[in-house]
Structure formats: C-alpha cells, structure tokens
Amino acid sequence: AASTGCTNKAFKTVLLLVWFCSSCTGFLPSQTSLLRPLPLLSKSAPLPSLKAVKTCRPRLRGAQMVLGPIGPFVPFRSSYCESQDVDDEMMKLTLVASDLSVKFQAISTGLQSGVPPNPTEVETIAQEMEKANEQWSILLTRFQLSEDFQALQLFKMTEARLAQNGINFAQMKASTSWQVQAMLAYASGKPPPPMPAEVQKIMSQSSQESSQIMSQGMMSSSGVTALPFKEGSKAIQSPVVQEEFRQMVAEHKSLVKLGEGYGKWDRTGKLMYIDQMEAIEDRWGIFMKRFELMGEMNPEFVLQRDEYLKRLQIKNEQEFINLLEETRRIMRADAERT
C-alpha cells in the first residue's frame, strides 16, 4: 500500500508536466507567428526620437482605463511577430503535446483504478517528453534573446505572471526535467531522484493551483486581431475623431516597427521607447472610453481580449493593467542595467 501511495504521488507530479504539455495545444496553432530565429539587424539600429517623451509618468488606472490596443492587445504586429519561420517546429511540438496528453490520460485513468503503468510505455513517454521539453526550452530562449520589443515584452509579461506565484522559468525547466528523470527511474525499477525544492513547492499546492502555475508559464500573445470598435461606429463618424484615430494608428504602427531594434539600443534609447509606448497607450485609453460609454465596443475584440485574460487566470481589467505595469517595471530595470 505504501508503495502504491508513493507511486501515485510520483505520478501526480509527472502529470503536472502532461498538463503543461497539453495546455500548449490551446494556443500554439494560433500563436506560431510569434517565434522565429533571431532577426538580423544592422549594427546601428535606429533610436526613438525625443518627441513627447515623459519619464515615469503615472499611468491611467481604474475606471479611467479601457483595455484597448495596449500591451499584448495591440493588433499591429512587428515583423518578428508576423514571421512564419518556425511554424513547422511549433506545429510538431503541438502534435507531440497532444499525443502526450492522450497517453497520460490513459495512465491517469489506470492509476485511479489501482493499475500501475507499464514500464516500457512510461519509458517511451518520458523520452518523448524530454524531447518536447528541449524544444520548448529552445523556443523560450529565442523569445528571451529577441531584439524585438513585442516579443521581449511577451516573455517578460509571462515572467512577471510566474513571479506572482514565486516561480520562474528556470525552476519550471528544472521541475519538468526532474519529472522526466522520475519516469525513467520508474521504468527501470529504480527510486526517483531527490525531488528539487521547486517541484515540492508545486506539489504542495492544490491541483488547481498547480495547473494555474504551469499554465502561467505558457507564453502566448493575446491573439487579438480585431480593432476595439465596430466598423461604421457612430463614435468615429466625426472628422475630428477620424483624424485622431488615423494619427494614433499611424503613430502606433511606426512605434511597433521602430521597436524591432529595441535590443540594440542603449539605456537611454530603451527607456525613451517604453515612455513613448506608454504615452500612446494612455491616449488609446482615453480614446476607447468614448466607445465603451456609447456601447460601441467591437464584440470580436472583447471576446479575443477576454479569452486571453481567462487563459492567464486574470480576474479583471485592473489586474491585467497591474501586470502590464509590472512587466514594464521589469523592462525598465533591465534597461537600466544596459
């Protein structure tokens, strides 16, 4: 009985990784464009201008802010984020994750019925899982080393979300690696290796909390492609409003394009760029309030936005704004060390 309990406990941990892999299938097909090999940039990347730069000004908060095209909700994509160079690799990882999910569901069902898994099958699954984990690590590194602001922001936002649970990417990687070794040990009839502290921390959580931690380690863009207002909206019929909208779109697109060289800049350039990005986001917040008050928000935009918030287990808009602000704080701190 003690042996069975020990096996069940070990596989409870292992199943966390399967949940981790299977959760990839929820966003990988629609998010493959976010990753590509590191971009080739000129040695002298352009710096943001000094126009409209303010340093560390307070952001709009609470009822004043509407989640329009800010942070990952921007429908304007950089060349990096629009690339299709690693679609095949990401699709392969998606298929592996889906296959592993099916196999582990069978193992989980057997364990619940008191049937221990077949060692040979466990070894095969562990090898597939190890390969998938290596692929995930490579993609993660590409994000982390990206020169593009949008890609780096996504990485830092995921990092910030994990930090809220006291977890980081390195701990997640160590945890998944241990789980693979535990499975291989089971297949060989040996005891599992000592459990790292990060695995113990995850196992000490409830199943729901553990799943939340693992899902928050999944890098995913918002998937937002729709503009935040309805086509032909009454709120944008005024020539003055149309011109304001046209200018914001043009400026935001130019800023996104400029951000493709973010990683090449020095401390001053990076801090100025973040200031400009936040300035235009504040302008969007004021602009979008008109659509919200008139009931003219685009249902497709709202749906795409809310699905992303749900995927990150974010309860409300203010919680997301706080997360975005923390992300930018981290990026500012990184820039200061440049």
Percent of the chain with pLDDT strictly greater than 70? 71
Please answer whether residues 261 and 44 qualify as being in contact, where contact means their C-beta atoms are separated by less than 8 angstroms: no
Confidence (pTM): 0.71
Burial call 290-310: b when 16+ CB within 10 Å, e when fewer: ebbeeebbbeebeebbeebbe
Tell me: pLDDT of 328 over 70. Answer: yes
> Residues 300, 226: contact at Cβ < 8 Å?
yes
Confidence check: pLDDT of 205 > 50: yes
Q: Is the pLDDT of residue 88 over 70?
A: no
CA distances from 81 to 34, 205, 251 (A): 4, 35, 18
The dihedrals phi and psi of 28, each to the nearest 5 degrees, come to -60, -45
Share of the chain above pLDDT 90, in %: 23
**pLDDT tens by residue, 255-287:** 999 999 999 999 999 999 999 999 999 998 888
135 backbone dihedrals φ, ψ, rounded to 5°: -65, -40
198 or 174, greater pLDDT: 174
The more confidently predicted of residues 124 and 67 is 124
Q: What is the pLDDT of residues 90-148, one digit of tens each?
A: 667 778 877 887 888 888 888 888 888 899 999 999 999 898 888 878 877 888 899 99
Go through the chain and tell me how many residues it has. 338
> What is residue 210's predicted lDDT score, i.e. its pLDDT?
46
